[in-house]
A = this chain, B = another copy of it.
Amino acid sequence: MTQKNRIRKSLPPEALAIIAQLGSHIKIARKRRAITMEEMASRMFVTRKTLGRLENGDPGVSLAVFTSALWVLGLENQLKEIALPEQDKIGLYREQQLLPKRVRSTKIKDDLDF
């Protein structure tokens, strides 16, 4: 039996919780702006039901739907901060670990004029 969509059965509970929180935050933001699901869904070019899945924390909704929701709410800029390389402390640390112990001057072909 070829198993499909392993991820749905294996999503760590914390990841599920994060997605659920995102959904409820989006719902709160929508209500604060006094927008109905119908109205917001149409601005997102999706159906009310799909927006509902997002707001209810369904992990299966696409990044398109998610991003579009933030877009309609005017919150899309926050997404740009995610996984920013210059703020990735773990990454920067690991990168240093990968640096060579010593550096040796490399012979550069000097006909590469620049």
Contacts and interface: CB of A to CB of B under 8 A. Distances in A.
Contacts of A76: 14-15, 18
Contact of A10 (B12, B45, B60): B45
Contact of A64 (B8, B84, B92, B94): B8
A22 B64 contact: no
A75 B19 CA distance: 14
Nearest to A43: B10
Given A28-B91, A33-B90, A59 B67 contact: yes
B64 A15 contact: yes
Size class of the A contact interface (CB-based, 8 Å): 35 or more
Determine which residue in A12, A46, A82 has the highest number of CB atoms from chain B within 10 A of its CB, and name it.
Answer: A82
Given A14-B71, A22-B83, A83-B75, A63 B64 contact: no
Interface of A: 6-12, 14-15, 18-19, 21-22, 25-26, 28-29, 32-34, 44-46, 58-68, 70-71, 73-76, 78-85, 88, 90-92, 94-95, 98
